[in-house]
Structure 1
Amino acid sequence: MKKFLSLALAVVAFLAACGGGEEETNNEGSGDNGEGGSDSIKIVAAHNQTSPENPYQDGLLKFKEVAEEESNGNIEVEVHAGTLGTEESELVEKLKLGAADVVLVSPGFMTQTGIDEVNLFAFPYLFESYDHWEKVVQGEVGEEMAQIINEKSNNDFKLVGYWTAGVRHYYGKKPIESMDDLEGMTIRTQTSGVVSDYWKQTGAIPTSLAWGELYQGLQQDVVDSAENAYPYFVQQNHHQTDNGKYITETGHDYTTRFLLVNGNEFDNYTEEQQEIILKAAEASVQAEWESLYAQEEEYKQIAIDDGAEINEIDRQPFIELAKPLQDQAAEELGVTDLLEKIRQAAE
């Protein structure tokens, strides 16, 4: 059983300090409920996955449960699973505009808001294990990234938790035995930045394809392969296509996801409401981690039972390929010091 550390106290302290402690909320639709003089508020929480069995859903349902119980119903949370947008860029925009209050997004899409530093968490082979990842996001690096996000977004975003989307592996029309097997293979992944540069260095051809279109893309030879974590691609039956049934456990990305709240709305909540939201966020982190870790084993077994073929590979050549790309990208992003702290955390 993985150990579940609470959110870094420094992050919580930072958020609380920035909260402002306003006594009245400007949240649309709020009003005095007559109980203790505290305004009631409605929070719209959203992620981009449509499956009800997804760890994202489990995490946000825990957020809802805790927020509503701790507030005696004065905080209502409405959870949306893919209904506000299946693209993370849509969710980021809705959060910024106030159409959503809590969203879950990846580093790659956060860069579209101009916060390039978050791309650090997208570096291939940045983390060696879940223990390494947990130590980083719950520690000094996690705290510094939370401050960067808040400051560079001009308070549009506050990071209230680090979630994960699992460890990503290759899956495609043939297994990988060595890096040479990727030569000329199209792979659905990011098509710009360090992720794209990395796959190009392996010999693969990064290709853009919407998540909702990937099953058909694999089935119809639009792409030769893709990469993701077991709970996500197995739930979508990608492993049942001819171009998805060979899974090689490359383990190239222990993923980080950001649980964000609308910073301006957060500052307008009462101090009590802020504390409840932070407590709900902390509970959601533990629930999401627990669900994801369990589902990785569960969905790996489902893939095997469905006839997918899984093999392991010597990751060292892939890791060595990634290091100079990490160094170069970190220098360009101005996060060399954070990269070194992450590497030191593995020692």
Structure 2
Amino acid sequence: MKKSLSLLLVMMFAGVFALAGCSGDEEASGASGDGKLKIIAAHNQTSPDNPYQIGMEAFKESAEKSDANIEVEVHAGTLGTSESELVEKLKLGAADVVLVSPGFMTKTGIDEIDLFALPYVFDSYEHWESVVDGEVGEEMESIINEKSNNDFKLLGYWSAGVRHYYGKKPLNSMEDLEGLKFRTQTSGAIADYWEQTGAVPTSVAWGELYQGLQQGVVDASENSYPYFVQENHHKTDNGKYVTETAHDYTTRFLLINGKKFENYSDEQKDAIMKAAEASVQKEREAVNKQEEKYKQQAIDDGAVVNEIDRQPFIDLAKPLLEERAKEIGAQDLLNKINEMK
């Protein structure tokens, strides 16, 4: 009787530990009880027409069409409109795939990424694409993976368009920026650049920027047409004048939790990489189409658009680029970027 009872207890404990082990494996891999891999994908934009959402939906469609038994749940701003929140959630495993900008990635200690965000490092969309899709892009991918200790694995490079100035008055020369409260980064090389133009870098959260422009908290801001027009910034008194400075051909990083990715099956990994490729193509196409569409909408809504001689802005940026590249040990990368112009 005692032997039977002891054997029964041993079997019960063994069953509990086996179940716990299975649960841990499922949690590490992201698998649900039915074996389906559930991926939480998130970005910080709330508009359903935003290129980010179009790209994430393409990722979802491709992954779910595969034979890898994957389900993708897309969150458009619902996991946070702050990119720092999304990076933290990715690192902790609360999100699996996120989209972030270089500025927030450098806060994780990967300084080389800053190179992709500096003013006038790219001089055309074609130049940007050749850089990120070539040797430099591959080197940056390796740097992200190694310096994050595999917390972040790069899946692809997205664009957020070409960024321009918009504010309460047009720019006819750099001197027109003197004293303007300009919504941009308030520290680092980007802030230094705008300070050198005469502007006053001012911090306002993206979700609060419409109100900030409307109430005069800031005099001006900068972004690409699809982003600031969808948010109606051009309809405020402090956003109606657009000057095409084209100071940033933007880079966005599509990242996955690297440690989770390593636990996926080869079939799941392959499906995810193919889904990433599909998302890159769709998101970039959406950005290109929306640039002209939303520029025209801004004009139709009463915004005033003008061009400017960019050379003084480019000349001002050159020593800053070289200095920052030296600080972060990315001189070779900058040289390669310049050689591709």
Instruction: Tell me whether the two structures share a fold, i.e. TM-score over 0.5.
Output: yes
Task: Name which of 309, 328, 331 aligns with 1:333.
Answer: 328
1:52 aligned onto 2:48 = yes
Give the match for residue 39 of structure 2: 43
Distance in 2 between residues matched to 1:235 and 1:247, nearest whole Å? 15
Equivalent residues in 2 for 1:120-159, closer than 5 Å = 120-159=115-154
Give the match for residue 219 of structure 2: 224
Query: Contact conserved, 1:108 with 1:119, CA < 8 A, in 2?
Result: yes
1:75 aligned onto 2:76 = no
Distance in 2 between residues matched to 1:104 and 1:117, nearest whole Å? 18
Give the match for residue 288 of structure 2: 293
Equivalent residues in 2 for 1:160-179, closer than 5 Å = 160-179=155-174
Task: Name which of 295, 318, 332 aligns with 1:323.
Answer: 318
Give the match for residue 188 of structure 2: 193
1:243 aligned onto 2:244 = no
Distance in 1 between residues matched to 2:47 and 2:209, nearest whole Å? 15
Distance in 2 between residues matched to 1:132 and 1:276, nearest whole Å? 29
1:85 aligned onto 2:86 = no
Deviations 1:214-264 (A, max 9, x none): 000000000000000000000000000000000000000000000000000
1:30 aligned onto 2:25 = no
Runs of 5+ in structure 2 lacking a partner?
1-24
Q: TM (normalized to structure 2)?
A: 0.91
Task: Name which of 58, 66, 69 aligns with 1:62.
Answer: 58
Distance in 2 between residues matched to 1:144 and 1:29, nearest whole Å? 29
Shift of 1:71: 2.6
Equivalent residues in 2 for 1:234-273, closer than 5 Å = 234-273=229-268
Shift of 1:326: 0.2
Distance in 2 between residues matched to 1:203 and 1:305, nearest whole Å? 31
Task: Name which of 187, 209, 213 aligns with 2:208.
Answer: 213
Distance in 2 between residues matched to 1:307 and 1:152, nearest whole Å? 47
**Larger of the two Rg values belongs to structure:** 2
SS at match of 1:174: coil
Distance in 2 between residues matched to 1:271 and 1:29, nearest whole Å? 14
Residue identity matched to 2:61:
E
Q: Report sequence identity in percent.
A: 71
Residue identity matched to 2:119:
P
Give the match for residue 8 of structure 2: none
Q: Decide which structure has greater helix share.
A: 2
Residue identity matched to 2:31:
S
Deviations 1:32-64 (A, max 9, x none): 74xxxxx42100000000001000000000000
Task: Name which of 79, 95, 104 aligns with 2:99.
Answer: 104
Distance in 1 between residues matched to 2:108 and 2:308, nearest whole Å? 36
Query: Contact conserved, 2:30 with 2:39, CA < 8 A, in 1?
Result: no
SS at match of 2:107: helix
Runs of 5+ in structure 1 lacking a partner?
1-23, 34-38
Task: Name which of 106, 110, 113 aligns with 1:118.
Answer: 113
Larger RCO of the pair (alpha carbons < 8 Å, separation 6+): 1
Residue identity matched to 1:166:
G
Query: Contact conserved, 2:30 with 2:260, CA < 8 A, in 1?
Result: no
SS at match of 1:113: coil
Residue identity matched to 1:141:
V
Where do 4+ consecutive residues of structure 1 move more than 6 Å? none
SS at match of 2:73: strand
Shift of 1:111: 1.1
